[in-house]
Amino acid sequence: MRLTSSFRILSLGIEMPLDSICVPQLGIRLKEIFRRLEENGLVLKISKCIFAKPEVEFLGHHVSANGIRPITERIQAILDFHRPSTVRLLRRFLGMLIFYRRFLPNAVKHQRKLNDFLVRIKKSKNKCIDWDENSIKTFEYCKQQLSESTTLAYPLSNVHLAIMVDASDTHNAVSGVLQQYDNNHW
């Protein structure tokens, strides 16, 4: 909590989950970060620090100048996940998918059948799941979709950007996506 509040007003695009910090475009930011750490009595463990690398693995993601993508080993663990036999195992599987949802187009739509199991089956964690053919296809499709995920690129600084939004009264949902106009295409 102290780390997060120390950087709350820094507004430099710093990612800070728990006790890790990822600083894109290091430059001037590093001096300010060190000052804030010292000011708040926080200490860095040098053996855990990585400076000026063109790419890093950070919290389950491979981050580089090209963009961000899931770490291959984590994707493989999901691909190797056997069809869950209980609600508890299905929740674990869905949790892994949710972690990488930004790489899965229409994730909510495709995972709906799997989430329906959680609604239909009462709270018992060890309750068995009765898979039908459609649910099995959905499970396999979700894994396939993740295996085909691509690198999410950063927005280009020299092109027009637009936020496209959509809402659904039927599903009580709203979504949005940032698009960039490049080579006459959104």
On average, the pLDDT of the chain sits at 82
**Residue 118: C-alpha distances to residues 21, 124, 127, 133 (Å):** 35, 10, 10, 17
Mean pLDDT for the stretch of residues 121-135: 80
Question: By the 8 A CB rule, do 180 and 155 touch?
Answer: yes
Question: By the 8 A CB rule, do 16 and 4 touch?
Answer: yes
Mean pLDDT for the stretch of residues 50-61: 84
Judged against a pLDDT cut of 70, whether residue 26 lies above it is answered with no
Judged against a pLDDT cut of 70, whether residue 87 lies above it is answered with yes
pTM of the model: 0.67
- Per-residue confidence (pLDDT) for residue 156, from 0 to 100: 80
- The phi-psi region of residue 59 (left if phi > 0; otherwise alpha if psi is between -120 and 50; otherwise beta) is left
Coil, strand or helix at 66 = coil
d(CA 51, CA 47): 11
Judged against a pLDDT cut of 70, whether residue 2 lies above it is answered with no
Judged against a pLDDT cut of 60, whether residue 7 lies above it is answered with no
The tokens of 1 are what?
């909590």
Banded model confidence at residue 97, pLDDT cuts 50, 70, 90: very high
- Report the interhelical angle of 87-99 vs 107-120 (nearest 10°): 160
Nearest to 81 by CA among 66, 62, 100, 103: 100
Mean pLDDT for the stretch of residues 123-140: 85
Judged against a pLDDT cut of 60, whether residue 1 lies above it is answered with no
Pick from 7-11, 30-34, 147-151: least confident:
7-11
Q: What are phi and psi of 162, to 5 degrees?
A: -145, 145
**Residue 74: C-alpha distances to residues 26, 38, 86, 134 (Å):** 27, 35, 22, 26
CA 161 and chain centroid, separation: 22
